Chains A and B, each alone.
Chain A
Amino acid sequence: MTITLYINGNEKILDCQPGDMLTEVLRKAGYVEVKKGCDTANCGACTVLIEDKPILSCSYLAVRADGKRITTIQGVAEEAKEFARFLTAEGADQCGFCAPGFALTVLSMKRELRNPSEAEIRHYLSGNLCRCSGYEGQIRAIKKYLEAVHD
């Protein structure tokens, strides 16, 4: 069937099967920043924003997204680049596989939470697994980033 998705502000008319999940449809359409890490909705690497809400694209039917606004990390590239500066300053951008989904969730958290404590940051991001960094560097980067953008 044919669906219309508004991806990063662009109208995209795409073919898909009714049972296709959004991750595969997005990757096939060239949005390779949406990653597949686990197959079981655990890792968060496939995170996108649907109507501004962070959602696992691997567990969301593409057909259900018909007509909806979808944002990948490329859709918020300027904000992402700014956060990336803080992440790389900590050295916490390791293999980078978790990074797009993780960064998108951080940006989403920035909008949803005011002045989150470290516990709240950890909690909001608990659905973004990282096997490389041990999480500490990411937390350092996020704290510094939130301080900088809220000044």
Chain B
Amino acid sequence: MEIREYARPKSMDQAMHLICEEHGTAIGGSAWLRTSTKTVMLGVDLCDLGLEYIREFQDHIEIGAMTTYRELETSPLLDSRFGKIFRTTVSHIVGVQLRNIITVGGTVAGRYGFSDLNTTLCAIGARVVFYPNVEKDLSSFIEKGYASPFLIEKIILPSSARAAYQQMRISESDFPIINTAVAWTGTVWRIAVGSRPAATRICRNAMKILGDSANPSDEQIEAAAAETSKETQFGSDIRASANYRQKILPVLVKRALLEVRG
């Protein structure tokens, strides 16, 4: 990637100005720069904005946009509130050295189809905060986008959830063929599916089948799992056909649901 000019703002306002008024391109996690052939007129590096944090509040948790995958997977706070799900979600991604670079904000902003993290965040019910102070449901943002240019400040999670993540890959460090995450938030079930190969979506019909009990029956679980395939669109690519994705999604969803329900 060619970057003509480089700026490293010290405040969110400054960053916003560079991105909106000066047509700068945000540089968060820099992993994609290697494969990009774009020319960027003004690169705006977000590394000095103090956006690397995982903070607990009374009724929610905030994850700064520049928080790395490595920080997510090793966070005792996230472990205690969400079980192992952040670890299982991101641990397949290449290696420690890459996970020390890629960021939550970069993944969310990119709305990448192959993302594992977006699927889990959507299942948990994450919300994304655009600077300054525009809060949106993450799954809506992923499905519909947001007026650009934008600058993601943080992700907001509920205080806790019981969640599980399942995926299929040909080899462990490859992109996923398909992934899914389910969560019991305490009041509702949420099911997200991603890498279809398209980006994450919520399986609303399937969620309805599960109802609002923490203990859906085996039949409900079977039915919900089957429904996810019916209500989701799949595509074919170099890794797998739409048909295969459609076939195994219910298997993975069922496993995830059983993992959460017990």
Contact = CB atoms under 8 A, between A and B. Distances in A.
Interface string B135-147: 0000000000000
Contacts of A91: none
Interface residues of B, number: 29
Contacts of B40: 19
Contacts of B31: 41, 56, 59
Nearest to A47: B97
B11 interface: no
A18 B97 contact: no
B95 interface: yes
B252 interface: no
Contacts of A47: 97
B189 to A, nearest CB: 30
B33 interface: yes
Given A53-B100, A59-B30, A60-B101, A44 B35 contact: no
Nearest to A40: B35
Interface of B: 1-6, 8, 27, 30-31, 33-35, 40, 43, 45, 47, 70, 91, 94-101, 172-173
B6 A63 contact: yes
Contact of B91 (A42, A64, A109, A123): A123
A64 B47 contact: yes
A71 B224 CA distance: 51
Nearest to B68: A53
Nearest to B99: A127
A51 to B, nearest CB: 10
A42 B94 contact: yes
Interface residues on A, range: 20 to 34
B244 to A, nearest CB: 24
A1 interface: yes
Interface string A108-129: 1100000000000001111110
Contacts of A55: 97, 100-101
Contacts of A127: 94-99, 173
Interface of A: 1, 17-19, 21, 39-42, 44, 47, 53-56, 58-61, 63-64, 105, 108-109, 123-128
A125 B95 contact: yes
6 contacts: A41-B94, A44-B97, A53-B70, A56-B101, A63-B45, A127-B97
Contacts of A128: 95
A99 to B, nearest CB: 15
A126 B174 CA distance: 11
A101 B82 CA distance: 33
Contact of A18 (B43, B98, B173): B43
A19 B2 contact: yes
Residue with the greatest number of chain B CB neighbours at <10 A, chosen from A64, A108, A109: A64
Given A54-B100, A61-B45, A19 B33 contact: yes
Contacts of B5: 18
Contacts of A17: 2-3
B173 A56 contact: no
